[in-house]
Amino acid sequence: YVMLLTLSPYTPRYRDRVSPPGVMIRPYLNGFTIAFNVSQPDTWQPYVDNMHHFLAAYDDEVQEEKNIECVPGQYFIQGGNDSEEKKACQFKRSLLQNCSGMEDPTFGYSKGQPCILLKMNRIIGYRPGAGVPVSVDCKVQKGNESHLRSVDFYPGNGTFDLMYYPYYGKFTHVNYTSPLVAMHFTDVQRNYLVPIQCSLNGKGIINDLNSDRFLGRIIFTLRIGK
């Protein structure tokens, strides 16, 4: 009990061996298979609703009210006591462009070109990429590589800007919204189960550990019917 009293509720005592981040996707509904028929809105509407619900915190107006504009390309290091509230950088959903749900409220699902969002898990004090932004790429995990012909990434070329790091913890970084990379699958083979692996790439990233499919990568399946 006495030893517990010496621990800070704001930051871990030891941060010299921070684990690399895992990743997660949205929409997420009952597993990692995203299957729908373009001509049947009831099959893809739940994914669309899940996306809108998740991105509500990223609305431009919400971000402008709660968070500040930061300098891209560099870590946002904040000093002061551990207990001091930290500022958070704006991540507006408009940065996701075709996958923002603003111009196309169906996120491409009504056209058979679904958007999927990738998010890194939060790790207090972690500075990904050792000064170089971490990027994302996607490929067919097993099977015919030609089944995945085109993927667009937003924002930019699919990177997590350094300005959103480090994360200082939920007690002091109260308005922090995790940066996202949107993956727009614009040309996927129809009527096939297409297993896709999307991976983080950067210094210090581990994405090839067979015992952990969420460490630095994620595997999911797309099935787009007519």
- The CA R_g of the chain, rounded to the nearest whole Å, is 19
Mean pLDDT taken over the chain: 91
Give the residue from 105, 192, 119 showing the smallest Cα distance to 149.
192
Residue corresponding to tokens 């959903």: 93
Q: Is 63 helix (H, G, I), strand (E, B) or coil?
A: helix
In which residue ranges of the chain is pLDDT below 70?
A: 1-19
Domains of the chain (ranges plus CATH)? 18-224 (2.60.40.1660)
Q: What is the pLDDT of residue 7?
A: 44
* Predicted pLDDT of residue 14: 47
User: Which structure tokens are listed for 206?
Assistant: 């581990």
Given this model, what pLDDT does residue 1 score? 45
Tell me the pTM. Answer: 0.89
Cα of first residue to Cα of last residue in the chain, in angstroms, is: 61
pLDDT tens digits for range 138-196: 999 988 999 999 999 999 889 999 999 999 999 999 999 999 999 999 999 999 999 99
